[in-house]
Chain A
Amino acid sequence: MKSSFFHNKYKGIVIGGSAGSFKPITKLLADLPKDFPIPIFLCLHRLKHVRHGFIEALSIKSSKPIFEPLDKELVRPGMVYLAPANYHLCIELGNTVSLSTEGLINNSRPAIDLTFKTAAYVYKEKLIGILFSGANKDGALGMKAIKDKGGVTIIQDPEESMMNTMPQSAKQVTEIDFCLEAEKITNFLLDLYKAYQK
């Protein structure tokens, strides 16, 4: 892999997924070291009425602190922030997140496009966007925004994805830096982790 990607300047990682993404994402979170320094923002399609249980399910195997942020919460290194049910999660200038009940986007709230676009606006080239399996197009335009601002785009290999519409749609609208199997995505982040250890 191109070594130019492995530096310690990243400010955030956004991860999106829908149907078929829960398993690989849980695995990814389980494999990340507890002190993995870059804040991670997860936007996953989820049932709007089930406020509880999701965090617990994601946390079972992970040593990382995963939680749903409150509106205007300060972003801290090493944390994993999950978009709450029925709210859009946005990244704000000034190192905070905000929540919003704006209408559905791509039939979704939270919408991956919105999390990705707002993160791209704030973090620009210091952002990594990762899109996993899913059965709709949410996230594609978000990935484009990330690429347009100079960030890094990674999709789960459509061959491996349980539902490939989501990674495939991203590929259709923008340049994808890495198309990887889930395990390789984890390796990518572990290599990155090493860059932060130096």
Chain B
Amino acid sequence: MQRDIEIAELRRLTQYIDDNFDYDFKNYAMSSFTRRVRRVIELYKFTSVEALIKKFKNDPAFFQEFVSEITVNVTEMFRDPTFWSSLRDEIIPEVIKEHRKISIWHAGCSSGEEVISMCILLKELNCLESATIVATDIDQSIINKAKKASFSSKNMELNKQNYERYGGKHDFLSYFVEDNGFFYIKPELIERVSFRVQDLVKGNPFSKFDLILCRNVMIYFNQTLQNEVLKKLHGSLFKYGNLAIGSKESLIWCDIANKFVVVNNEEKIYKKIKD
């Protein structure tokens, strides 16, 4: 499709999806959402947004595939190494000292690289046994992938470099079993993780946590939706719980920013101080 996708077409699409599938993409950030829709249209050789809607009508099962394609799943282990070292050196020891246990939610966990990083970090701090971890994503197929926890060797080089930059002292690859060009995380490392499908937009708080990671997820939302989702994250934190967002995101322009204080501005870690 050569021409630009018009805003009215996008509205028809997101309205159709909301009416028929109970997902709400209306407040996703315009430019990236448009690009993702265009990508789906090109990938499946539809001629227009209308044709995509027609496909949903004829083949509702296609919708899950659409969700998979529309979401951006790019992720890395130990992405932003200094973020992970500040979790290791400041945030997590403090929670453990206070409560002797820690509950963690990875909201928008994608294929699980962030979760693996967390488990390795906790293992090295000797507190994996004290942790309960929930990892969620809107995309069923990426959750399936995260559960499998197998990573192609071509990505492992970068993961390993990040681990080294984080200051990891162990043999990184020893946490994995290699088979046929894929690296499988050793099952005992992630046995405490519960992977589930959950939609941050339509879903409601389901538990309370000491630490929530929601990194590089809200950048795909517009500010209205960022506000709404932030309220839910706030509602899912214990008082004095910590929230980490992506290193280039900010809370300062959100309605409830005053219910948080900055713990680490460089790494975008915040603490809930008011209910």
A binds B: yes
Q: Which residue of A lies closest to B161 (CB)?
A: A49
B153 located at the interface, meaning its Cβ lies under 8 Å from any Cβ of chain A in the complex: no
* 18 contacts across the A-B interface (CB closer than 8 A): A49-B161, A49-B165, A71-B219, A72-B219, A72-B250, A84-B248, A87-B248, A90-B31, A91-B31, A92-B31, A98-B29, A99-B219, A99-B248, A101-B75, A101-B219, A102-B32, A102-B35, A102-B72
Given the complex of chains A and B, what is the CA–CA distance between A10 and B172 in angstroms? 51
Q: Closest A residue to B226 by CB, please name it.
A: A72
Contact of B216 among A90, A93, A96, A101 (CB under 8 A): A101
Q: What residues on A are CB-neighbors of B29 within 8 Å?
A: 72, 92, 98
Assembly CA distance A49 to B82 (angstroms): 11
Output the residue of B29, B75, B162, B226 with the most chain A CB within 10 A.
Answer: B29
| Interface residues as binary, B62-80 with A (CB distance below 8 Å gives 1, 0 otherwise) | 0000000000101100001
Q: Is A121's beta carbon under 8 Å from chain B? A: yes
Interface residues on B, range: 20 to 34
Contact between chains at B249 and A102 (CB < 8 Å): no
| A134 CA to B43 CA, complexed, in Å | 30
Q: Which residues of A contact B (CB under 8 A)?
A: 49, 51, 68-73, 84, 87, 90-93, 96, 98-103, 118, 121
How far in angstroms is the closest Cβ of chain B from A12? Answer: 14
Give CA–CA (A90, B162) in the complex, Å. Answer: 26
A90/B250 in contact, CB under 8 A: no
Contact of A72 among B165, B216, B253 (CB under 8 A): B253
Shortest Cβ distance from A92 into B: residue: B31
CB distance from A102 to the nearest CB of B (A): 5
The 4 closest A-B pairs by CB, nearest first: A70-B250, A71-B219, A101-B74, A90-B31
Docked Cα-Cα span, A70 to B74, in Å, equals: 19
Decide: B31 and A70 in contact? CB cutoff 8 A: no
Q: Quick check: A70 and B161 within 8 Å, CB to CB?
A: no
Given A70-B249, A71-B218, 18 more contacts at CB 8 Å? Answer: A49-B162, A49-B165, A51-B82, A69-B248, A72-B219, A72-B250, A72-B253, A73-B250, A84-B248, A91-B31, A92-B29, A93-B30, A98-B219, A99-B249, A100-B32, A102-B32, A103-B74, A121-B31
**Which A residues are in CB contact (< 8 Å) with B32?**
90, 98, 100, 102
Residue of B nearest to A104 (CB): B74
Residue of B nearest to A69 (CB): B248
Which B129-180 residues have C-beta < 8 A from chain A? 161-162, 165
Q: Are B250 and A101 within 8 A (Cβ)? A: no
| CA gap between A90 and B81 in the complex, in Å | 25
Q: Are B220 and A100 in contact (CB under 8 A)?
A: yes
- On whether the beta carbons of B249 and A71 are closer than 8 Å, the reply is yes
Closest CB in chain B relative to A47 CB, distance in Å: 12
| Residues on the B chain within 8 Å of A102, using CB | 32, 35, 72, 74
Chain B nearest Cβ from A87, distance in angstroms: 6
Q: For B246, list chain A residues within 8 Å (CB).
A: 71
Question: Is there a chain A Cβ closer than 8 Å to B15's Cβ?
Answer: no
Residues of chain B lying within 8 A (CB to CB) of residue A91: 31
Q: Does B59 contact A (CB under 8 A)?
A: no
Interface presence of B98 (CB below 8 A): no
Q: How far does the Cβ of B51 sit from chain A's closest Cβ, in whole Å?
A: 22
Complex CA–CA separation, A92 to B219 (angstroms): 12
